[in-house]
Structure 1
Amino acid sequence: MSTNKVIYVIDDEASIRDSLQQLLELEGYAVKCFDDANKALHTLSRRFEGVVLSDISMPMMNGIDFLTQVQQFDSELPVIFLTGYADVSTAVKAMQLGAYDLFEKPITEQLLDCIARALDKRTLVLENRQLKRQVQQKSAPGVRILGETQQMQQMMQLLDAVIDTPADVLIEGETGTGKEMVARYLHEHCARSEHHFVAINCGAIPEDLIESELFGAASGAYTGATQAREGKFAFANGGTVFLDEIEAMSPSLQVKLLRVLEERAVTPVGSNQAINLDIRVVAATKVDLQTLVDEGRFRADLFFRLNLVKVPIPALRQRKADIPLLYQHFLSIAAARFHKSFVPLSDALRTSLMQYDWPGNVRELRNHAERTVLLGEQLALQSGPISAQESETLSIAQKVAYYEQSLIEDALAQSQGSIKHAMELLQIPRKTLYDKMAKYGLQRTMYTQDD
């Protein structure tokens, strides 16, 4: 028999490990041996494709405790127990806890048959999970990540490798690349999906409120706190906390966040009672945190704690081959949203899109697709992406101004020329909106829609 499946062997006796390894390798299995169940536990995940053979009676962590830990993250991972004596009560307990099977030493041919069946079952479980993830992606457009370029495929492989682990994640990407989308993908496709996903913009909450907002506050903790307030970390218990713009967090709050991450507990403001947390923290930044650490503007210990798994999102200009796919997708969504006919991407528009560097990344691309659906391709081309040659001659300020203009045009188009609605979409005062419209030569009547 030939197979690439891995068999973990856990036994504190070297002679038992050696004999099992020799037997299983002769059968064509890849074998990895451990003298301590705790060591094996730290290398297992829901992606593990093999089977575990474990002794029950071991000094450091016994087999029953090991199985209990495994069941917490994957109840379908096959654990086969080996025991040197026939203890009926232990065997019953092991099977009740979810052991795949139990054999008394010495080893017989029946064990090899059991391993083969367990491997077949494990393969089926993993295939079913993969199919389920694919179905979830297709049925939930909000958490789909589109991209066929090598950069995006590498990113997706990294996400899938850590999706079912408890590891915290740091997402790096420019504005508009979809950092929150990646965080939601991690949440929606893991075992935490039934619990809350809580998104927090660290740069948008006032400094004097952010601590109570995150950690909660006891009644009377500050003026106006007439009743206890549940913090966002406690609200997210069992789920995921997404900390966007982590670089904007103050030094004092960084210290408190580090303690929460290390202790997995939070103490509300004005309280002495800690609340235990079972959360995954996904942080996101649009800057290089390592540079901020080197400059003394971000705590090194917090950076190292967050940087356990780093997921860089490529800018749209680095994966231009994905632009037509994304644009067609956004056209389809916008057509359904605005009750318009879907118009396929023309060659002229495709050329225009591919020549532009997209400083606003996927967010800007989506805005442009919505504008195309609302205003038509000709108007979209007139106010659409500038050519690559023109882009190279623009300063950063000019590129930012171009992106700002596109956002205002998009808000006016979505609101069908309603200044009030556009103000709400852009979250800016009326006078600011009027000033910027005058700056870019925009008129409200350009975006009103006939019935």
Structure 2
Amino acid sequence: MDVAFIDDDEALRAANVQALMLAGFTVASYPSAMAALDDLDADFPGIVVSDVRMPRIDGLELFRRLRRLDAELPVILITGHGDISMAVEAMREGAYDFIPKPYALDRLLVAVRHALDKRRLVLENRALRRKAEAATLDLPLLGHAPEMERLRQRVRQIADADIDVLVEGETGSGKEVVAQTLHRWSPRGTRPFVAVNCGALPENVIESELFGHEAGAFTGALKKRIGRVEHASGGTLFLDEIEAMSPALQVKMLRVLEAREIMPLGTNEVRRVDIRVVAASKVDLQDLVRRGGFREDLYYRLHVAFIRIPPLRERREDVALLFGHFLARAAKRFRREPPLIEEAMRRHLDTHEWPGNVRELAHYAERVALGLTPENGPAAPPGGSSLPERVDAFEAAQIRETLAACRGDIQATLRALGIPRKTLYDKLRRHGIDQARFRASGPS
């Protein structure tokens, strides 16, 4: 919404609203200040235009209440001859403008346009401040290792350039957060960031998810759907696990990248999209091209700029820093005091290869915060135990740790352990593990 227009005179209100709408503005009209106050809040994206002379709550009191709600919300007051002194007082208090009656339509339109420009800048700066604060916790960009310094510099170099980017990194290294940082630091930062996991969407729905469809395009398409590519227009489209995209879909995505056009299912209408594409792969995409597993033309279309995220084992000096951050966050989340770091835990941090990268380290910190790591978890079986007994004890401990880290969520536990559902349930019964106990142990 662009303008909230308030006047108790129905004829004048209707005339002004019509004029504003003909000028291209979106307008909501209100017959009283009270009606407007019921709708407006600090996140109102537009401006307010109000008559001064109104019953119960006049324009000046409305302005003061709106100022308490949002001191940066532009309010334009429309005044009669006898109300100019009141309007001047409101200007001293921070009102954006006042327009004395009678006034030319152009005077109102100019004031509205200027006020909307100011409001847009205010809201964009607020969004940027919020995102800048959130950016301090962009964990894949946290670290002092030279590899991380180079990564941050690379992201800064290309964030402002409106070019497509290919990001490569192992599972858990933080590809999506790098993509979000590229988006946030770019001129598109206040527009949509739309993520699509190409490996998670079934082949029979991914085309509809990406490009949208018209009602009746296929069985079950009961209404029109805007696809994710079109939803990202003006912002950034993040294509995760791009290597999992089928050959047929690669052809269609190449067309999108080359022409910035889509054609939803069930229509011949071509729609323009203004997107920046950030694609991510957990494998060497160029090697996949050489082996015939990915289209060469699509690879080079994506490879306008390239970012490689170093695995955690290549920046071991950052492990302790990241672990400390994760541990403090996990302890706060679980409402516990951060535990002391024992020598066995330090050895694990220093010597483990971290194949799951930052994500694995974060999960390890959660287990430490819960006291469920091998270093401080269930006691090991006596040295005289047989190998099968020691294997069973280790397996049971791993399942308990994973259930605790996933707070009893079976789907998440299955993904973390990489075993079928039936196998997990068989092991829960064999080891006498109660999944419900881990659900109950999560934070309330």
TM-score, normalised via structure 2 length: 0.61
The superposition leaves residues 251-309 of structure 1 with CA deviations (integer Å, 9 ceiling, x where unpaired) of: 11101000000111111112111221111111111111111111111110000011111
The equivalences for 1:84-99 within 5 A come to none
Shift of residue 344, structure 1, vs aligned partner = 5.0
1:321 corresponding residue in structure 2: 317
1:143 corresponding residue in structure 2: 138
Correspondence 1:423 to 2:411: yes
Give the conservation status (yes or no) of the 8 Å contact 1:143–1:184. no
Query: Which of the numbers 298, 301, 305 marks the counterpart of 1:305?
Result: 301
Cα distance change of structure 1 residues 339 and 237 upon mapping to structure 2, 3 Å threshold: same
Query: Which of the numbers 405, 429, 443 marks the counterpart of 2:433?
Result: 443
Give the conservation status (yes or no) of the 8 Å contact 2:345–2:375. no
Shift of residue 450, structure 1, vs aligned partner = 11
Give the conservation status (yes or no) of the 8 Å contact 1:370–1:410. no
Local SS of the residue matching 1:177: coil
Cα distance change of structure 1 residues 211 and 299 upon mapping to structure 2, 3 Å threshold: same
Q: Structure 1 vs Structure 2: percent identity of aligned residues?
A: 45
Give the conservation status (yes or no) of the 8 Å contact 2:213–2:225. yes
Counterparts of 1:230 and 1:343 in 2: how far apart (Å)?
Answer: 49
Counterparts of 2:396 and 2:306 in 1: how far apart (Å)?
Answer: 30
1:275 corresponding residue in structure 2: 271
The equivalences for 1:53-72 within 5 A come to none
Local SS of the residue matching 1:192: coil
Local SS of the residue matching 1:193: coil
Counterparts of 2:265 and 2:406 in 1: how far apart (Å)?
Answer: 41
Shift of residue 442, structure 1, vs aligned partner = 8.0
Cα distance change of structure 1 residues 429 and 296 upon mapping to structure 2, 3 Å threshold: closer
Local SS of the residue matching 1:228: coil
* Pairs aligned (count): 299
Shift of residue 379, structure 1, vs aligned partner = 4.6
Query: Which of the numbers 356, 363, 372 marks the counterpart of 1:360?
Result: 356
Counterparts of 2:359 and 2:332 in 1: how far apart (Å)?
Answer: 18
Shift of residue 351, structure 1, vs aligned partner = 2.2
Shift of residue 143, structure 1, vs aligned partner = 3.1
Local SS of the residue matching 1:191: coil
Amino acid paired to 2:422: K
Local SS of the residue matching 2:234: coil
List alignment gaps of at least 5 residues for structure 2. Answer: 1-124, 381-393
Shift of residue 354, structure 1, vs aligned partner = 0.8
The superposition leaves residues 115-144 of structure 1 with CA deviations (integer Å, 9 ceiling, x where unpaired) of: xxxxxxxxxxxxxx9xx9898544445534
Cα distance change of structure 1 residues 294 and 186 upon mapping to structure 2, 3 Å threshold: same
Report the RMSD for the aligned CA atoms in angstroms: 3.2
List alignment gaps of at least 5 residues for structure 1. Answer: 1-128, 385-401
Give the conservation status (yes or no) of the 8 Å contact 2:334–2:442. no
2:199 corresponding residue in structure 1: 203
Cα distance change of structure 1 residues 377 and 383 upon mapping to structure 2, 3 Å threshold: same
Cα distance change of structure 1 residues 344 and 273 upon mapping to structure 2, 3 Å threshold: farther
Shift of residue 342, structure 1, vs aligned partner = 2.2
Local SS of the residue matching 2:277: strand
Shift of residue 180, structure 1, vs aligned partner = 1.0
Amino acid paired to 2:355: P
Correspondence 1:413 to 2:409: no
Shift of residue 173, structure 1, vs aligned partner = 0.8
The equivalences for 1:80-229 within 5 A come to 136-140=131-135, 143-144=138-139, 145-229=141-225
Give the conservation status (yes or no) of the 8 Å contact 2:168–2:282. yes
TM-score, normalised via structure 1 length: 0.60
